[in-house]
């Protein structure tokens, strides 16, 4: 019980200083000054009565209250207390002062100074053989290294803390070490490994005496599962955290509201927006109660986060006016210098406000906000947000018909998305590009964009399938781990129950393993089947295309032979004509039999209606309904006009046409002139017009 109180005191100190550090640079309102002065007076009375190390410890508390009013004086007072406690050998007071100074530096984003102060704390604890405080400092410094993404340094200090806690036989301390290890892996995106460490942390913590830390690790498990998309498991661990902390009276408001916010986020991802809204509102209520009379609402960054989450819920529920109110209030808080909001936070609020305004058809205001979001994302170096802002800007500009600036934004967004390998973002950009190219009548580029969109969509589908397989494996590991925990809890109660649970675990293991194998095999078989279908469809398409080309070539040959036949017949007619003329010139009294013979020769070579019909049919088949389409648009065209159109479309010369129609070249020119009038052509080429069908 004694160790539990010690851990409780540490946690209370840490939470109090974190809360203070977050607001240390904000100027208090008039009502707050009165409350702060009253607290300072009370502590000063205690200081006047105290002596030695107790007096110095109270001066540290005085400095923390003073920091809200005058951070410079508070910092100076802490430095004086540190010097005095060092000179007089008050190790405990020196350790307390160094802890508060570390939080002070952290609150001012001076993490290197915070790390140096904590290292000094470690040395003080080592010199005075205060191994408990040394271990606490080793694990305390880890948080700073994690925030700086210096994971090797964080793991080094974790190993040191683990060694110390093992010597102290402190299960709660060991549990915290493994919980921190899990946090490092979460930051690196290695969620399965993180969960294994969290379960190991729970093993130690449940042997210890800190129900609060058990709640913290359950919270971290829920947080990790929310990243892998396993929202049902995430809900289980978040609700378990609330159940544990509701039994305690020493849990601060920050962990309580954070748990509600996380539950709201999980329900939001599950598209249960009313439940999500309920939990976000609960979080806001807890925040307001915690800060009542301490910090003005208008400069409370904590409120801005709740407002933003509530705005998201209202937007999905299509209550856009309410969504806009909360989004704008969140933005106004973040824009105030006193809140010290990051550029990334401000950019998020501008982007959310822009989306809501766009849905409210207030496009121009939406564009202004999206442009501001882009500016702040660029200032923060957040490329994902920069690309998202440009995509939203492009969509808004397209709605106003401003295609050129929209195209520029889409191209910029695509360049960034490719650079950071954000496939979902690339997919959305290609979809917008395909539509924009189609509007510009650039169908080739539109088709290319659609192909890229389709490929990315398929790729993301395959990734999603692999993720689902991984989730099944994680669920299996979770089930196995929970069954093992149940077994360990009950092993002291009954030997028979212990044996039963052991067989149950083995049975479930043997049952689930083949099921996972079957599922993986089925998924792979399905993918192979889809690939086979795609290949067969491609081969069928190629075969049809080959057959079509062969048919076209055959038809072309038939038409060519037909045209040559007609040319030959016309040549024969010219030959007969020459013979007759020669006979007439040679002998005007030529017998009738000669002319009859000549007539028969001409008759046998005249182009018949059947020949013309056959030629029309061939032209129609080769031209994909050419004469039908032409006649539909120009019903006044005669059969002769249609023949002339067909010959022109076949690129026959005037001489060839005159030979085929057995008329003079001049008649062909006249016929072309009349045809242009019927078709309503002015300066356009007759050949270009007919080839357009």
pLDDT digits over 238-268, tens only? 999 999 998 888 888 888 889 999 999 999 9
For residue 144, is pLDDT > 50?
Answer: yes
570 vs 131, residue with greater confidence: 131
What's the pLDDT at 19?
39
Q: For 614-618, what is the mean pLDDT?
A: 59
Q: What is the mean pLDDT of residues 311-318?
A: 94
Q: How far is CA 370 from CA 306, 312, 334, 388, in A?
A: 21, 16, 16, 9
Residue 611's pLDDT is: 58
User: At residue 520, does pLDDT exceed 50?
Assistant: yes
- Could you give the CA distance from residue 536 to residue 523 in angstroms, rounded to a whole number? 20
Model-level pTM greater than 0.75? no
Segment of 229-233, 266-270, 490-494, 659-663 carrying the highest mean pLDDT: 266-270
- Residue 29: pLDDT band (50, 70, 90) is very low
pLDDT category at 352 given cuts 50, 70, 90 is very high
How far, in Å, CA of 443 to CA of 454, rounded? Answer: 16
The pLDDT of residue 560: 60
Judge whether 388 and 376 are in contact, CB under 8 Å: no
Highest-confidence segment of 25-34, 408-417, 497-506: 408-417
More confident residue, 36 or 521: 521
Rounded distance, CA 417 to CA 432, Å?
Answer: 14
pLDDT over 70 for what percent of the chain? 77
**Cα separation, 196 vs 436, whole angstroms:** 48
- What is the predicted pLDDT for the residue at 605? 53
Q: Can you spell out the DSSP letters for 30-79? A: HHHHHHHHHHHHHHHHHHHH--HHHHHHHHHHHHHHHHHH-HHHHHHHHH
Question: What is the DSSP code (8-state) at residue 89?
Answer: T
Q: Which residues contact 101 (CB under 8 A, 6 or more apart)?
A: 75, 78, 79, 82, 117
Neighbours of 363 (CB within 10 A): 16
What tokens does 236 get?
């289980």
Residue 11 has pLDDT above 70, yes or no: no
Residue 259 CA to residue 241 CA, distance in Å, equals 8
Torsion (CA) 624, 630, 631, 636 in degrees, nearest 10 = -160
pLDDT score recorded for residue 493: 58
pLDDT higher for 14 or 134? 134
pLDDT at 10: 40
* Structure confidence at residue 61 (pLDDT): 86
CA dist 174 and 609 (Å) reads 103
* pLDDT tens track for 85-113: 889 999 999 999 899 898 888 877 788 99
Residue 464 has pLDDT above 60, yes or no: no
Question: What's the pLDDT at 424?
Answer: 83
Residue 661: CB atoms within 10 Å: 18
**φ/ψ (deg, to 5) at 230:** -95, 75
Report pLDDT for 570.
65
Mean pLDDT of 363-387: 91
What average pLDDT does this structure show over 118-130?
Answer: 93
Q: Is the CB of residue 231 less than 8 Å from the CB of residue 270?
A: yes
Give yes or no for residue 601 having a pLDDT over 50. yes
Q: What is the mean pLDDT of residues 284-310?
A: 80
For the chain, percent of residues with pLDDT exceeding 90: 31
Per residue in 472-516, pLDDT (tens digit) is: 555 555 555 555 555 555 655 566 677 777 778 888 878 888 888
Check whether 176 has a pLDDT greater than 90: yes
| Per-residue model confidence (pLDDT) at position 20 | 36
| Dist CA 689 CA 246 (whole Å) | 83
pLDDT above 90 (res 278): yes
DSSP label at residue 29: P
Q: How confident is the model at residue 534 (pLDDT cuts 50, 70, 90)?
A: confident
Per-residue pLDDT, 57? 87
Mean pLDDT, to the nearest integer, of 207-212? 88
Residue in 204, 269, 233, 184 with CA at minimum distance from that of residue 474: 233
CB 233 within 8 A of CB 225: yes
């Amino acid at each position: 019980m004694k160790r539990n109180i010690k851990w409780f005191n540490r946690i209370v100190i840490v939470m109090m200083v974190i809360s203070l550090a977050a607001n240390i640079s904000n100027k208090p309102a008039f009502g707050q000054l009165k409350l702060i002065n009253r607290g300072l007076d009370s502590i000063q009375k205690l200081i006047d009565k105290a002596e030695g190390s107790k007096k110095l410890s109270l001066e540290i508390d005085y400095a923390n209250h003073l920091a809200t009013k005058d951070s410079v004086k508070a910092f100076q007072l802490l430095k004086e207390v540190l010097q005095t406690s060092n000179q007089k050998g008050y190790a405990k007071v020196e350790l307390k002062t160094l802890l508060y100074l570390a939080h002070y530096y952290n609150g001012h984003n001076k993490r290197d100074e915070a790390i140096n102060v904590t290292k000094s704390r470690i040395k003080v604890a080592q010199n005075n053989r205060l191994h408990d405080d040394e271990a606490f400092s080793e694990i305390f410094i880890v948080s700073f290294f994690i925030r700086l993404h210096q994971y090797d340094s964080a793991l080094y200090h974790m190993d040191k803390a683990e060694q110390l806690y093992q010597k102290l036989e402190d299960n709660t301390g060991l549990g915290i070490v493994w919980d921190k290890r899990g946090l490092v892996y979460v930051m690196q995106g290695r969620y399965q490994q993180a969960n294994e460490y969290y379960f190991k942390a729970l093993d130690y913590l449940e042997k210890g005496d800190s129900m609060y830390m058990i709640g913290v690790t359950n919270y971290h498990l829920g947080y990790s599962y929310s990243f892998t998309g396993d929202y049902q498991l995430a809900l289980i661990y978040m609700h378990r955290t609330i159940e544990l902390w509701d039994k305690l009276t020493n849990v601060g408001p920050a962990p309580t509201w954070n748990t509600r916010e996380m539950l709201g986020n999980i329900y939001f991802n599950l598209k249960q927006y009313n439940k999500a809204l309920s939990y976000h509102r609960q979080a806001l209520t807890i925040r307001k109660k915690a800060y009542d009379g301490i910090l003005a609402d208008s400069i409370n960054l904590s409120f801005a986060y709740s407002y933003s989450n509530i705005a998201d819920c209202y937007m999905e529920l299509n209550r856009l006016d309410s969504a806009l109110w909360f989004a704008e209030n969140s933005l106004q808080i973040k824009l105030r210098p006193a809140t010290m909001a990051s550029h990334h936070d401000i950019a998020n609020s501008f982007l959310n406000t822009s989306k809501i305004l766009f849905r409210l058809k207030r496009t121009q205001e939406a564009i202004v906000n999206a442009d501001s979001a882009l500016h702040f994302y660029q200032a923060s170096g957040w490329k994902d947000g920069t690309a998202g802002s440009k995509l939203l800007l492009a969509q808004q500009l397209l709605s106003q018909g401003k295609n050129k600036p929209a195209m520029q934004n889409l191209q910029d967004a695509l360049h960034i998305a490719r650079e950071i390998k954000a496939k979902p973002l690339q997919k959305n950009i290609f979809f917008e590009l395909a539509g924009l190219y189609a509007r510009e009548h650039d169908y080739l580029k539109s088709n290319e964009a659609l192909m890229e969109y389709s490929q990315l969509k398929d790729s993301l589908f395959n990734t999603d399938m692999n993720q689902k397989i991984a989730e099944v494996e994680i669920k299996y590991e979770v089930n196995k781990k929970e069954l093992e925990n149940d077994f360990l809890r009950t092993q002291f109660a009954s030997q028979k129950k212990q044996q039963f649970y052991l067989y149950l675990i083995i049975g479930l293991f043997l049952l689930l393993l083949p099921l996972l194998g079957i599922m993986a095999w089925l998924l792979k078989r399905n993918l192979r089947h889809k690939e086979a279908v795609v290949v067969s469809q491609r081969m069928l398409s190629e075969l049809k295309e080959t057959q079509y080309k062969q048919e076209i070539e055959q038809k072309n040959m038939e038409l060519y032979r037909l045209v040559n036949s007609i040319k030959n017949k016309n040549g024969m007619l010219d030959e007969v004509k020459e013979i007759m003329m020669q006979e007439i010139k040679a002998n005007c009294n030529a017998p009738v039999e000669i002319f009859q013979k000549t007539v028969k020769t001409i008759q046998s070579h005249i182009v018949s209606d059947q020949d013309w019909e056959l030629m029309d049919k061939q032209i129609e088949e080769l031209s994909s309904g050419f004469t039908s389409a032409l006649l539909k648009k120009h019903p006044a065209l005669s059969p002769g006009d249609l023949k002339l159109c067909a010959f022109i479309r076949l690129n026959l010369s005037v001489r060839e046409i005159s030979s085929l129609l057995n008329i003079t070249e001049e008649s062909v020119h006249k016929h072309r002139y009349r045809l242009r009038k019927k078709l309503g052509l002015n300066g356009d080429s007759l050949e270009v017009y007919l080839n357009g069908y």
